[in-house]
Amino acid sequence: MDSLLIRGGRKLVGEIEVSGSKNIALAVLSSIVLAEEPVLLRNVPNISDTRIKTKLLEIFGAKVEWMGTDVLVDCSNLVAGEPDEEMVRAIRTSFYMIGPLVARLGTLKMPAPGGCKIGARPVDLHLKGLHLLGAKITLDGGIYTATQKKLKGTEVYLDKPSAGATQHIMSTAARAEGTTIINNAAMEPEITALADFLNRIGASIEGAGTPKITIIGKRSLGGGDYKIPADRIQAGTFLLAGAITGGDVTIRNILPEDQTALVNKMREAGAFVDEGVDWVRIGAPSRLNGVNVTTMPHPGFPTDMQQPMAATLCVAEGTSIIEETIYESRTGHIMELNRMGAQIRQESGSAVIQGVESLRGATVYASDLRAGAALCLAGLVAEGETHVRNIHFIDRGYEAIESTLNALGADVQRVTESELVKVR
Ligand code: UD1
Q: Are 366 and 281 in a shared domain?
A: yes
The answer to whether position 188 is within a domain reads: yes
The answer to whether position 115 is within a domain reads: no
* Domain ranges, residue 326: 3-18+231-423
The answer to whether position 225 is within a domain reads: no
Q: Percentage of residues in the chain with pLDDT exceeding 70?
A: 97
Mean pLDDT, all residues of the chain: 95
* C-alpha of residue 274 to centroid of ligand 1, in Å: 31
The answer to whether position 39 is within a domain reads: yes
User: What does each C-alpha distance from 181 to 28, 151, 153, 169, 358 come to in angstroms?
Assistant: 20, 14, 8, 10, 52
The answer to whether position 379 is within a domain reads: yes
> Which residue's CA is minimally distant from atom 2 of ligand 1?
23
Please give the pLDDT value at position 275. 97
Q: Are 291 and 340 in a shared domain?
A: yes
Q: Are 373 and 293 in a shared domain?
A: yes
Q: Are 174 and 199 in a shared domain?
A: yes
Please give the pLDDT value at position 171. 98
Q: Are 253 and 179 in a shared domain?
A: no
* C-alpha of residue 213 to centroid of ligand 1, in Å: 18
Q: Are 201 and 322 in a shared domain?
A: no
Domain finish residue from 192, 217, 242: 217
* Nearest atom (ligand 1) to Cα of 370: 11
Rounded to 5 degrees, what angle do the CA atoms 327, 108, 116 make?
20
User: For 219-230, how does the pLDDT look when each residue is reduced to its tens digit (9 = 90+)?
Assistant: 999 999 999 999
- The pTM for the full model equals 0.95
Is residue 164 predicted with pLDDT exceeding 60? Answer: yes
Domain finish residue from 161, 194, 217: 217
* C-alpha of residue 383 to centroid of ligand 1, in Å: 36
Tell me which of 132 and 2 has the higher pLDDT. 132
Q: Are 205 and 133 in a shared domain?
A: yes
Q: Are 132 and 169 in a shared domain?
A: yes
CATH code, domain with 72 = 3.65.10.10
Domain count, the chain: 2
User: For 332-384, how does the pLDDT look when each residue is reduced to its tens digit (9 = 90+)?
Assistant: 999 999 999 999 999 988 999 999 999 999 999 999 999 999 999 999 999 99
Is residue 125 predicted with pLDDT exceeding 60? Answer: yes
Report the residue among 125, 131, 162, 231 best suited for mutation to probe ligand 1: largest number of ligand atoms under 8 A from its CB: 162
* C-alpha of residue 379 to centroid of ligand 1, in Å: 28
User: For 200-246, how does the pLDDT look when each residue is reduced to its tens digit (9 = 90+)?
Assistant: 999 999 999 999 999 999 999 999 999 999 999 999 999 999 999 99
Q: Are 237 and 357 in a shared domain?
A: yes
CA distance 373 to 365: 11
Q: Are 249 and 132 in a shared domain?
A: no
User: What does each C-alpha distance from 115 to 95, 127, 191 come to in angstroms?
Assistant: 10, 18, 20
Q: Are 292 and 332 in a shared domain?
A: yes
Catalytic positions: 116
Q: Which residues line ligand 1 (CB under 6 A)?
A: 23, 26, 92-93, 119, 121-126, 160, 162-165, 186, 188, 190, 303-304, 326-327
Please give the pLDDT value at position 408. 98
Res. 417 pLDDT band, cuts 50 70 90: confident
The answer to whether position 320 is within a domain reads: yes
Please give the pLDDT value at position 88. 81
Is residue 423 predicted with pLDDT exceeding 70? Answer: no
User: For 306-339, how does the pLDDT look when each residue is reduced to its tens digit (9 = 90+)?
Assistant: 999 999 999 999 999 999 999 888 889 999 999 9
Please give the pLDDT value at position 121. 75
Domain finish residue from 217, 245, 267: 217
Is residue 101 predicted with pLDDT exceeding 60? Answer: yes
Q: Are 263 and 164 in a shared domain?
A: no
The answer to whether position 253 is within a domain reads: yes
The answer to whether position 238 is within a domain reads: yes
